[in-house]
Amino acid sequence: MPDLNNARVLMIATDGFENDELFKPRQALIDAGATVTLASIKIDPIQGEKGGEKADTITPDLPLDNVDTEEFDALVIPGGVGNPDKMRMQERAVQIVEEFMNDDKIVAAICHGPWLLVEADVVDGRTVTSWPSVRTDLENAGADVVDQEVAIDRKLITSRNPDDIPAFNQAIISALAEELAEA
């Protein structure tokens, strides 16, 4: 496994995140040596879901308004229906996605997470994947939508669902290792 000791990863999420899509990538990145920071609307604990039922909670490290994207190498957006739907209504969350994309940094979104990419208007001409119900929104935003476990378009990484998490994690870790090697 690559050594990501200097990698700094931002995750953004709020209530309604898909449990495994936050915790499994977060743990894989930590295990690879990355520093992972979770930002949310507020710093109160946020509630995950699994199969439509309440699952684990986690306390964010900082509010969205305190995020300085210059401090991070990559952005990870977990899915869940409620999470990206609420996040796309947060002006700062949308700005964070725009800033990462404009700075040509790694952006990874899984399941319903690409809704936030649509809101930030950053998928036009990009190859992406997502949960099936999000694909029409992606196509309408100009994306080339594919049905595969992970779609990588330069530094934009997307996956469809929790079953794709191992491939999603590997793609993020590989992209970060490549970035660190070039730095």
- Out of 109, 111, 152, 156, which one is annotated catalytic? 111
- For residue 95 the two structure tokens come to 């700005």
Question: Distance between CA atoms of 2 and 23, rounded to whole angstroms?
Answer: 20
What's the token pair of residue 109?
């979104």
> Do residues 124 and 146 make contact, with C-beta atoms less than 8 angstroms apart?
no
Which residue among 86, 88, 112, 126 is the active-site one? Answer: 112
The count of C-alpha atoms lying within 13 angstroms of the C-alpha of 49, restricted to the half-sphere facing its C-beta, is 15
What amino acid occupies position 111?
C
Q: What is the largest CA-CA distance in the chain?
A: 42
Active site residue 111: yes
101 is catalytic: no
Q: Which residues are catalytic?
A: 111-112
